[in-house]
C-alpha cells in the first residue's frame, strides 16, 4: 500500500516544567493524506499534547518533530501551518455572529476575495445545515449547533488537516453519537487528513481509519480498529479497548505430549497450534486474556470449568453475565437473552483460538 505523506510526527519529545514532566516521550505517527487517525488514551497520556504540538500551540523539545506534506513545520507559528483545530470547549468567538465565526480564518488570512469567502461559508453552512443560523450569535446556539459552527470554521480553511481535540466531549450522549457520524461523513466527503483525539474507545473504534493508542506519553500501538481490538499489542491496549473489558488470568505453560497447556488454579487448557508456536515451554507469569464474547456458557465440555452466575446485565441485543469461580470474576457476553439465571452454576468454556497471551512485561506473544 502506498500512502501519500500527510502529517508525520517524528520522535516527538515534549516536556514541561523544565523537563521534569515528560508529556510525550518519542512519539512517532504517520498520517496519510485523507486518512482519519484517532489518538486514543486515558487522560494525561499525552495525546492532547501531541495534537497541540502538531498545531503549533506547544513547542516540542526537538527541532524536527512535526512534518506536514514533507515540510518541517516544528518551529512555525500556528497560523503558518495551514491546519484547522477544533477545540474541546468549542471556543466560538462570542462577539462575532456565526457567519463571521466561520469566516474568521479566511478573514485573517486575507488571501481570499470577498466572493470566495462568501461562497465557502455558504457551502460549509449547507454541508453542516447551518444556513438558517448564519446571523445568530454563539450564545443563541445549542451545543450541537455550536460544534457544527466550529467544524464549519475549520472546513472553510480548506486546510491540510483537521485537528480535533475531543470535540464531542462536552456534548450529551445522543448528540455525541449523531455528531460522530456527521464528522466521519464530512471527512469522507472532503478527504482531508484528520487527527481526532479522544479518550472514548467507542468513538475511536467507530471513527478511525487507524487508531493510535497512547499511554504515559508513548504510542502503544497503531492499527486499524480491527487490529487494535483483535490483536492488541499489550495488556494495556487489550484492557483499554473493549466494553465490557477483557478477562485476564495469570497462568503458566506446560506441555502434554505434543500439546501445550495453559494452567492456572482455574483451568487446564490445551493451546491451539497457531498460538502455541509463539510460546515457549515452562513460561511462568504469563497472562491469558480473552474477550467476554469468546467466553461461552453451555454444556460440560472437555476443557470447561464450573462457575457460578453472580449478576446479569442486559445490554439490549446482548447480555453481560458476571461469573465467579475460585474467587475470580469472569465476564461473558452472549447474544440475546441470558440462558441462565443469577445464582446458577454453569459450565464455562474459552474459545481457545481467540485467546491472547501476554508476557510478564505485558507484551502480547
Binding interface with another protein (CB under 8 A)? 3, 5, 8, 10, 30, 55-59, 63-64, 70-72, 74-79, 83-85, 87-89, 91, 93-95, 104-105, 108-109, 153, 157
In DSSP terms, 16 is beta-bridged to 21
Which residue, 89 or 265, has its beta carbon nearer to another protein? 89
The angle, 0 to 180 degrees and rounded to 10, between the axes of the packed helices 173-190 and 143-155 is 20
Q: How far is the CB of 288 from another protein (least distance, A)?
A: 34
Which residue, 60 or 242, has its beta carbon nearer to another protein? 60
Which residue, 4 or 301, has its beta carbon nearer to another protein? 4
Please work out, in degrees rounded to the nearest 5, the angle formed at the alpha carbon of residue 144 by the alpha carbons of 98 and 174: 170
Q: How far is the CB of 89 from another protein (least distance, A)?
A: 5
The alpha carbon of 30 is separated from its chain's Cα centroid by a whole number of angstroms, namely: 16
Q: How far is the CB of 201 from another protein (least distance, A)?
A: 25
Q: How far is the CB of 241 from another protein (least distance, A)?
A: 24
Which residue, 72 or 303, has its beta carbon nearer to another protein? 72
- 164-198 as b/e: b if 16+ CB within 10 A: bbbbbeebeeeebeebbebbbebbeeeebbbbbbb
Which residue, 56 or 217, has its beta carbon nearer to another protein? 56
Residue of 284, 262, 287, 250 lying closest to 363 (CA atoms)? 287
In DSSP terms, 198 is beta-bridged to 40
Q: How far is the CB of 12 from another protein (least distance, A)?
A: 14
Beta carbons of 58 and 24 less than 8 angstroms apart: no
Report the residue count for the chain. 365
Amino acid at each position: 500500500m502506498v500512502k501519500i505523506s500527510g502529517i508525520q510526527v517524528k520522535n516527538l519529545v515534549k516536556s514541561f516544567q523544565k523537563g521534569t514532566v515528560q508529556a510525550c516521550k518519542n512519539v512517532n505517527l504517520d498520517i496519510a493524506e485523507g486518512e482519519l487517525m484517532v489518538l486514543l488514551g486515558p487522560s494525561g497520556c499525552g495525546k492532547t499534547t501531541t495534537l497541540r504540538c502538531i498545531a503549533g500551540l506547544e513547542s516540542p523539545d526537538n527541532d524536527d518533530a512535526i512534518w506536514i506534506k514533507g515540510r518541517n513545520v516544528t518551529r512555525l507559528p500556528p497560523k503558518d501551518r495551514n491546519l484547522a483545530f477544533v477545540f474541546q470547549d468549542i471556543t466560538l468567538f462570542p462577539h462575532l455572529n456565526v457567519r463571521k465565526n466561520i469566516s474568521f480564518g479566511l478573514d485573517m488570512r486575507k488571501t481570499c476575495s470577498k466572493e470566495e469567502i462568501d461562497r465557502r461559508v455558504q457551502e460549509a453552512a449547507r454541508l453542516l445545515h447551518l444556513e438558517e443560523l448564519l446571523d445568530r450569535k454563539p450564545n443563541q446556539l445549542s451545543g450541537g449547533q455550536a460544534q457544527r459552527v466550529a467544524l464549519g470554521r475549520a472546513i472553510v480553511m480548506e486546510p491540510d488537516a483537521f485537528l480535533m481535540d475531543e470535540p464531542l466531549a462536552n456534548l450529551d450522549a445522543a448528540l455525541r453519537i449523531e455528531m460522530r457520524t456527521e464528522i466521519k461523513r464530512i471527512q469522507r466527503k472532503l478527504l482531508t487528513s484528520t487527527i481526532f483525539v479522544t479518550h472514548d474507545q467507542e468513538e475511536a473504534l467507530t471513527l478511525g481509519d487507524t487508531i493510535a493508542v497512547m499511554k504515559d506519553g508513548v504510542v502503544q500501538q497503531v492499527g486499524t480498529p480491527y487490529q487494535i481490538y483483535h490483536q492488541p499489542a499489550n495488556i494495556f491496549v487489550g484492557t483499554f479497548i473493549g466494553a465490557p473489558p477483557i478477562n485476564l488470568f495469570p497462568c503458566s505453560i506446560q506441555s502434554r505430549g505434543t500439546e501445550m497447556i495453559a494452567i492456572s488454579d482455574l483451568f487446564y487448557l490445551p493451546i491451539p497450534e497457531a498460538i502455541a508456536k509463539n510460546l515457549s515451554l515452562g513460561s511462568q507469569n504469563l497472562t491469558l486474556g480473552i474477550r467476554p464474547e469468546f467466553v461461552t456458557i453451555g454444556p460440560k465440555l472437555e476443557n470447561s470449568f464450573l462457575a457460578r452466575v453472580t449478576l446479569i446485565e442486559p445490554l439490549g441485543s446482548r447480555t453481560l453475565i458476571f461469573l465467579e469461580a475460585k474467587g475470580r470474576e469472569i465476564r461473558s457476553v452472549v447474544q440475546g437473552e441470558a440462558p441462565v439465571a443469577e445464582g446458577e452454576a454453569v459450565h464455562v468454556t474459552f474459545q481457545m483460538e481467540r485467546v491472547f497471551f501476554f508476557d510478564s512485561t505485558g507484551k502480547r506473544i
